[in-house]
Amino acid sequence: MILLIESGSSKTEWRYISSPQEAYQRFHSLGINPYYQTAEEIHASQKDVLSQLSTLTVEEIYYYGTGITDDSKREIIRNWLSPYFSGVKTIQVDNDLIAAARSLCGNDSGIACILGTGSNSGFFDGESIKEQIPPLGFWLGDEGSGGHLGKHLILAYLHHDLPQDLRDLFVKRYGELNRLEILSKAYQGEYPNRWFAGFSKFLFDHRKHPFCYQMIEHAFQEFIRLYVCKYAEVETQKIHFTGSIAFYYSDILKQVLRKNRYLLGNISETPMAGLTLYHKSKRWPE
């Protein structure tokens, strides 16, 4: 009776596992980020999925998510979850990097990376994150992420750096974007990283265009240069990736890894499948 919750800034995936043999139940909801949200705000965004879970017997909850930066953020999640699962024995709250590492590496060592709405990385020794080059968030970092790609696409649009054929396609899809509207979304919007990440889909649809391809390749190269290459183990360990950007742009990502002569490991769209295997093996060892 395990409930796994894996949340990014954009979406949350829930998986209920009642036994090693029976099929699991899946649920989806909006993203959760206790760095920006209170327990009350999280409840308001998640009440529909919690009502669907109300009849399930849950003994263990493992929550993994973005925004878990310290114990105070862990308490926000625990305070939100505990009233809904009175019989629960364990509520373990960890950050999204631990989710990526357990999902991608299992019990082995490796460098685990996240390329989704945001980006992150760390060296996992098979039990815990032993080293992490600190990420700097949306405004100062997140290189290689959807937010980073979308932000640079918008900058190219504002600076009139988009080739005319791409600009025409961009305007056809989104209309003429107003500079003040963009600045409002950037500096006053609730989740600017989500908003900018939405534009990365344009890059995906036109990734064969030289301008888009180079923008994507450069973003991945910057992620490697600023984070991955600084791990002492980078020459000997496999480098694993999870997240929508890593998954859907995997062809370009693989080429960047090959150019840097690094060992590529697993690439997954989300950590949940690997987390399911990890927790089933811990709860019901063969």
Per residue in 136-173, pLDDT (tens digit) is 777 887 899 999 999 999 999 999 999 999 999 999 99
Which tens digit of pLDDT belongs to each residue from 62-72?
999 888 888 88
Q: Evaluate if residue 46 carries a pLDDT over 70.
A: yes
Label residue 57 by pLDDT band (50, 70, 90). confident
First to last CA, the chain: 17
* Locus of tokens 């945001």: 118
Label residue 209 by pLDDT band (50, 70, 90). very high
Instruction: Report DSSP letters for 250-285, one per residue.
Output: HHHHHHHHHHTT--EEEEES-SHHHHHHHHHHHHS-
Label residue 113 by pLDDT band (50, 70, 90). very high
Distance CA 65, CA 67 (A): 6
66 neighbors 73 (Cβ within 8 angstroms): no
Question: What pLDDT does 164 receive?
Answer: 95
Identify the weakest region by mean pLDDT among 107-116, 134-143, 146-155, 176-185.
Answer: 134-143
Identify the weakest region by mean pLDDT among 17-31, 103-117, 136-150.
Answer: 17-31
Identify the weakest region by mean pLDDT among 16-30, 59-73, 132-146, 205-219.
Answer: 16-30
Residue 192 phi, psi (nearest 5): -60, -30
Question: What pLDDT does 237 receive?
Answer: 94
Distance CA 213, CA 203 (A): 8
3-state helix/strand/coil string of 153-198: HHHHHHCCCCCHHHHHHHHHHHCCCCHHHHHHHHHCCCCHHHHHHC
Spatial neighbors of 97 by CB under 8 A, at least 6 apart, are 112, 114, 120, 121, 122, 129, 132
Question: What pLDDT does 242 receive?
Answer: 94
Q: Evaluate if residue 202 carries a pLDDT over 80.
A: yes
Tell which wins on pLDDT, 140 or 113.
113
The helix or strand, by DSSP H or E, that contains position 48, with its residue range, turns out to be helix 39-53
Please state, rounded to an integer, the average pLDDT across all residues of the chain.
88
84, two tokens: 């809904």
Question: What pLDDT does 102 receive?
Answer: 93
Neighbours of 145 (CB within 10 A): 30
Distance CA 22, CA 15 (A): 13
Label residue 79 by pLDDT band (50, 70, 90). confident
Spatial neighbors of 258 by CB under 8 A, at least 6 apart, are 264
Pairing of strands 60-65, 119-124: unpaired
Of 120, 104, 143, 4, which Cα lies nearest the Cα of 69? Answer: 120
